[in-house]
Amino acid sequence: MAAPKHRRPGFSKRAQYSIFASYLLGILGAVIGLLLLAISILDPRGFAVLRTIGAEATAPVSKTLSEVGGATGEFGEEVSAYFAAASKNAEMQRELDSYRIEILEARALKQENERLKRLLDLNEEVPEAVAMARLISSTSSSSRRIATLGVGNTSGVEAGQPVRAPEGLVGRVLETGPTTARILLVSDGQNVTPVKRASDELPAFATGLGDGTVEVKPINLGTNPFKGGDLLITSGSGGLYSPGIPVAVVIRQSDTGAIARILANPAKASHVIVQPIFQAETVRQAEQDEADRLAGDAAGGD
Amino acid sequence: MAKAYRSRLNRQPSQLRIKVVPAVTVILGSMITALPLITDYPILPPMGLLILLAWRLIRPGYWPVWAGFPLGLVDDMFSGQPFGSAALLWSLIFIALETLDNRGVGRDYWQDWLIASLSIIFVLICGMLVIDFQSNLLRLEILVPQILLSILLYPFVTRLIGAVDSWRVAR
């Protein structure tokens, strides 16, 4: 459609000025936007209040819809399960038989493990859950990978706590509101997870690629020991995630490390568990050191 | 005059409806991230932007040039992008479209679609680069499904907004 004719102001000074002022305001808006963007890149925690208000405002809708969505998703799977039921049954029977033997072996290993731990006087308590809830929505129109969880700081959820599903690590808590929390998923480009290879404890870092995979880089650069099928679990270094949570499986080698697929698919996990920070003391100490260093730098700068 | 006809004659649409409806539809579009969709890829079309472009192209001259800024700020609350990214990008789109309008050249439907498509591509790519320029520059291809979906969805959004617009000004 062509621009309306009355927008040509002719000789009216007043009309010309108002169009000019509107332009100036538009440019001013862009400049302020740029400033806000610069602030939020320098301080990602800034404006968290506004985002929390947004999440809290839409949470009732998301929660209701996710209940409905969960039900329909399961319905589809239940219908498809009727097809090929017989062959599936036989296959599962075979699998069950093999698992029975493995369970017995695992039980024996567990007993031995406990005995050895007692010998070493190691007393690691298994972290219990802070809360259990549903992921109710995510930033599916943005390149960030942040999901919203249906519980918040009134249930004891705090920033930094790891979030996991039965299959593996989902992410960690980024910001909390009263009844919602924002979860930085493992696949987000800004999320770095300290991992190790399950078979030989080779330490590495997993950085999200934003598409359901992570890039794995070994700490010892120069070597590239990863093979397809390697299981990566959290190493516990950094003190945020407790060790031994499955994270990803290597799918192929890359130039500097490997590309791995994340095990816990947040879209499929109906409920996730929020765990306490593995070594809260260590994390607090690290933050304190960082603050001291910054304060020292500032003092030195003056 | 018969009383029965009085209410139907010389009616004016409510000023509130005329003024508020476009902004409300754009904000509702921005709230699409409240849908319980949890995805590994950015796949959901940026509905706030699509609705904004539809209004802007159906009714040139309705929005002032600065309208991209406040609506962008609201979108930033829901999108998960760094705060200010939509405020900046939507403002730039509005300045560009205003400049285009002032050329006074008539546009047809297909050109509107082309302009909307270019705007969508610009906003999505810049939105991704804003997060992390260096590493995201190498994997812009993960935006391709979202861009295609958004461009294909635009005509439907335009039809919808056209219907909302005729309701908005209906007497």
Mean pLDDT of A235-249: 85
pLDDT of the residue at B28: 93
Q: Which residues of A touch B64 (CB under 8 A)?
A: 22, 25-26
pLDDT band at A75 (very low <50, low <70, confident <90, very high): low
CA distance A125 to chain B (A): 32
Contact B26, B72 (CB under 8 A): no
Closest-CA distance of chain A to residue B43, Å: 6
Q: How far is CA B98 from CA A2, A7, B39, B149, in A?
A: 12, 11, 35, 26
Residue pair B146/B43 in contact (Cβ under 8 Å)? The answer is yes
Residues A175 and A181: beta-carbon distance below 8 Å: yes
What is the model's pLDDT at position A110? 87
Q: What is the pLDDT of residue A200?
A: 85
Find the residue in B nearest to A59 (Cα): B34
Q: Domain A131-278 is of which CATH architecture?
A: Beta Barrel (2.40)
d(CA B131, CA A144): 8
Instruction: List the single residue in B with minimal CA-CA distance to A20.
Output: B65
Supply the mean pLDDT for chain B.
87
Interface of A with B in 261-290 (CB under 8 A): 262, 265-267
Instruction: Look at residue A123 in the predicted model and tell me its pLDDT.
Output: 56
Cα distance from B2 to chain A (closest Cα, Å)? Answer: 39
Q: Which B positions 131-170 lie with beta carbon below 8 A of chain A?
A: 131-132, 135-136, 139, 142-143, 146
Average pLDDT, chain A: 81
Which pLDDT band, with edges at 50, 70 and 90, does A298 fall under? low
- CA-based nearest distance A9→chain B, Å: 11
**Residue A1 pLDDT exceeds 80:** no
Instruction: Select from A32, A236, A242 the least CA-distant residue to B76.
Output: A32
CA-based nearest residue to A136, from A144, A148, A154, A152: A148
CB A35 within 8 A of CB A42: no
Q: Does A60 touch chain B (CB under 8 A)?
A: no
**Predicted pLDDT at B68:** 92
How do the domains of chain A map onto residue ranges? 87-123, 131-278
Bridge-based pairing of strands A192-197 and A258-262 is unpaired
CA dist., res. B74 & res. B164, Å (int): 21
Question: Using CA atoms, how far apart are residues B136 and A189, in angstroms rounded to an integer?
Answer: 9
Tens-place pLDDT, residues B43-81: 889 999 999 999 999 988 888 899 999 999 999 988 888
Chain A residues touching B91 at Cβ < 8 A = 26-27, 29-30, 33
φ/ψ of A93, rounded to 5, equals: -60, -45
Task: Give which of B86, B28, B83, B33 is closest to A139, Cα–Cα.
Answer: B33
By DSSP bridging, strand A272-274 and strand A162-165 are antiparallel
pLDDT of residue A291: 74
Other residues' Cβ atoms within 10 Å of the Cβ of residue B109: 11
- Residue B23 — very low, low, confident or very high, per pLDDT cuts 50/70/90? very high
Q: Is A118 exposed, middle or buried (0-12, 13-18, 19+ CB in 10 A)?
A: exposed
C-alpha–C-alpha distance, residues A4 and A179, integer Å: 48
- On whether residue B3 sits in a domain, the answer given is no
How confident is the model at residue B140, as a pLDDT? 85
B8 assigned to some structural domain: no
* Per-residue pLDDT, B26: 95
Q: Which ipTM score applies to this complex? A: 0.83
Per-residue model confidence (pLDDT) at position A302: 44
Per-residue pLDDT, B55: 94
**CB count in 10 Å sphere of residue A298:** 9
**Cβ–Cβ gap A212/B41 under 8 Å:** yes
Mutate to test the interface with B, among A42, A45, A143, A185 (most CBs of B within 10 A): A143
Q: Which residues contact A251 (CB under 8 A, 6 or more apart)?
A: A213, A228, A258, A259, A260, A261
Contact assessment for residue B25 and residue B161, using Cβ atoms and an 8 Å cutoff: yes
pTM score, two decimals? 0.79
Chain B positions touching A33 (Cβ under 8 A) are 69, 72-73, 84-91
Q: Would you tell me which residues 189-218 of chain A have a C-beta closer than 8 angstroms to some C-beta of chain B?
A: 189-190, 209-212
CB atoms within 10 A of CB A101: 9
Provide the 10 A C-beta neighbour count for residue A85. 9
* Min distance B8 CA to chain A CA atoms (Å): 30
Partner residues linked to A213 by β-bridges: A261
C-alpha distance from residue B76 to each of A219, B37, B82 (Å): 36, 18, 7
Angle at B112 between CA B108 and CA B116, to 5 degrees: 175
Please tell me the predicted confidence (pLDDT) of residue A299.
Answer: 58
Q: Determine how many CB atoms are found less than 10 A away from the CB of residue A57.
A: 15
Q: Which residue has the higher pLDDT, A190 or A74?
A: A190
* Percentage of residues in chain A having pLDDT higher than 70: 86
Instruction: Check residue A243 and give its pLDDT.
Output: 85
Give the residue-averaged pLDDT of B159-164: 94
Name the token pair of B4. Answer: 């029965």
B32 touches chain A (CB under 8 A): yes
Q: What angle do CA A117, A119, A121 make, to 5 degrees?
A: 65
pLDDT at A301: 44
The DSSP letter of residue A137 is E
Does residue B4 form part of some domain?
A: no
Radius of gyration of chain A (CA): 26
**Structural domain containing residue B92:** 14-169
Of the listed ranges A17-31, A228-242, A284-298, the one predicted with least confidence: A284-298
Choice between B111 and A279, residue whose per-residue pLDDT is larger: B111
Number of domains in chain B: 1
